[in-house]
Structure 1
């Protein structure tokens, strides 16, 4: 795999179907369900619970003083939420809202700490999840400071394809997940107008096409070259 594609996969904001094993954790807490767009917790709330995602996807985001949203990551199956509350001040660093219908395992902060203290292997899984989110935050900060919008949008399309796509041929893939331009804008820290303009340019230049409700990337290698153009 191309080194830049590997880097994009490493910094993918979609944490879904993660290769973690949480079997013993399911003996703790209760199973809860949420509908799409329901809030799981709010930024700066006291962190009473840690959540294990059993099914669906949850979007983590920050809210500015002006009420603007900056999405950080989308956490899916086998991911955990609220582990930031394990710090001394025990508050949630982000808000969490359901991007789809969701089933979660809700574990008290005390029980989660007790669990990982008895099961050292799970400490490493928790640290790995925290590290992935930290690495992603660092990358997003760098991109916001130095990268143009077109490479960032191209990179995000590739990252989507790494998690949710079907191969058509050696070059083409079709995305299997729908997204709005506003959702992409929130994740990239830009405006919907900027996303719309760049998506149209990508379509006009035949990098992507819309097929029904889903986008097709015509040539992953060519889109990757565009995503790798990081000069401002």
Structure 2
């Protein structure tokens, strides 16, 4: 998944010149959320697209038995909610601020006006949604097919690729994850995660940094098990909209 400096840099607006992009920036709203504050619930009408300008968002679904299933975390400059461009759909997942967060938001009506003027945008939206569906399918397959050790290993490799910072020992996650968080990611109990994490650390796959953030070893990330074709491109930066 690519990182964006501003929503105006999204591929949806590739055909626009800088003056047109500046006009689009004027449409954006800039909501802020405190830690644990809900952005939207599953089943609510979807009417806006977001980019994370600062902070971290947790995306999740709730099973029929009330169990929380974490779909993933989004950090600075990542896009989410673009499924609203298809129809008058409902949110297929819920979103909550995992820490104090600032967003850049654009509403559906504004996107519809742009789509009506550029047919190529519709094709690019379909490709993006296909990529997202593929990633979610991979994560669900990890839970259903692989045992907890392999599933957790693949999940940590994916998070390190998406949200890691390179160090001498490997890729360090840029946020902390508790054993409860990891259990929610792979559908396992906290006790099981504790046991699996112990074995991963003994194997040299994972270690705790001095600031208690997980570091995934370089050699493991090079293994076929850890391959992920959707590695981030570039480095995140705050949207220039917030410099106004």
Q: TM-score, normalised by structure 2?
A: 0.73
Is it true that 1:98 corresponds to 2:97 in the alignment?
A: yes
Q: Deviations over 1:99-150 (max 9, x none)?
A: 2222212222211221233355654553343222201122123222211111
CA deviation after TM superposition for structure 1 residue 98, in Å: 1.3
Q: Which residue of 2 aligns with 1:166?
A: 166
Q: Deviations over 1:42-73 (max 9, x none)?
A: 00011232223222222211011222111112
1:195 matched to which residue of 2? 193
- Quick one: structure 1 residues 192 and 226, their matched pair in 2 at CA, closer, same or farther if it must change by over 3 Å? farther
CA RMSD of aligned residues (A): 2.7
Q: Name 2:32's counterpart in structure 1.
A: 33
Distance in 1 between residues matched to 2:78 and 2:207, nearest whole Å: 31
Count the aligned residue pairs.
Answer: 211
1:14-163 equivalence runs, <5 A: 17-18=3-4, 21-22=9-10, 24=21, 25-119=24-118, 122-123=121-122, 126-162=125-161, 163=163
In 1, Cα distance between the equivalents of 2:152 and 2:187? 11
Q: Judge conservation of contact 2:164–2:171 (CA < 8 Å) in 1.
A: no
Deviations 1:134-178 (A, max 9, x none): 011221232222111111211222223223122215xx4444431
> After alignment, is 73-82 or 101-110 more displaced?
73-82
Q: 1:221 aligns with which of 213, 219, 222?
A: 219
- Structure of greater relative contact order (alpha carbons < 8 Å, 6+ residues apart): 2
| Structure 1 portions without partners, runs of 5+ | 1-14
Shift of 1:187: 1.8
